[in-house]
A and B are shown apart, each in its own frame.
Chain A
Amino acid sequence: GENVEQHPSTLSVQEGDSAVIKCTYSDSASNYFPWYKQELGKGPQLIIDIRSNVGEKKDQRIAVTLNKTAKHFSLHITETQPEDSAVYFCAASKNNNDMRFGAGTRLTVKP
Chain B
Amino acid sequence: GAGVSQSPSNKVTEKGKDVELRCDPISGHTALYWYRQSLGQGLEFLIYFQGNSAPDKSGLPSDRFSAERTGGSVSTLTIQRTQQEDSAVYLCASSLTTTGRTEAFFGQGTRLTVV
**A contact residues vs B (CB 8 Å cutoff):** 1, 6, 32, 34, 36, 42-46, 49, 89, 91, 93, 95-104, 106
The distance in angstroms between the C-alpha atoms of A56 and B43, with both chains bound, is 25
| Number of residues on chain B facing chain A (CB within 8 A) | 26
Q: Assess whether A42 is in contact with B50, with CB atoms less than 8 Å apart.
A: no
The distance in angstroms between the C-alpha atoms of A1 and B107, with both chains bound, is 24
**B contact residues vs A (CB 8 Å cutoff):** 4, 31, 33, 35, 40-43, 45, 48, 50, 56, 58, 91, 93, 95, 97-99, 102-104, 106-109
Q: Assess whether B104 is in contact with A99, with CB atoms less than 8 Å apart.
A: yes
Q: Assess whether B103 is in contact with A49, with CB atoms less than 8 Å apart.
A: yes
Q: Assess whether B97 is in contact with A46, with CB atoms less than 8 Å apart.
A: no
The distance in angstroms between the C-alpha atoms of A34 and B95, with both chains bound, is 13
- CB neighbours (8 Å) of B107 from chain A are 43
Q: Assess whether B109 is in contact with A43, with CB atoms less than 8 Å apart.
A: yes
> Known interface pairs A96-B97, A97-B50. Does A43 touch B106 (Cβ–Cβ under 8 Å)?
yes
Q: Assess whether B42 is in contact with A89, with CB atoms less than 8 Å apart.
A: yes
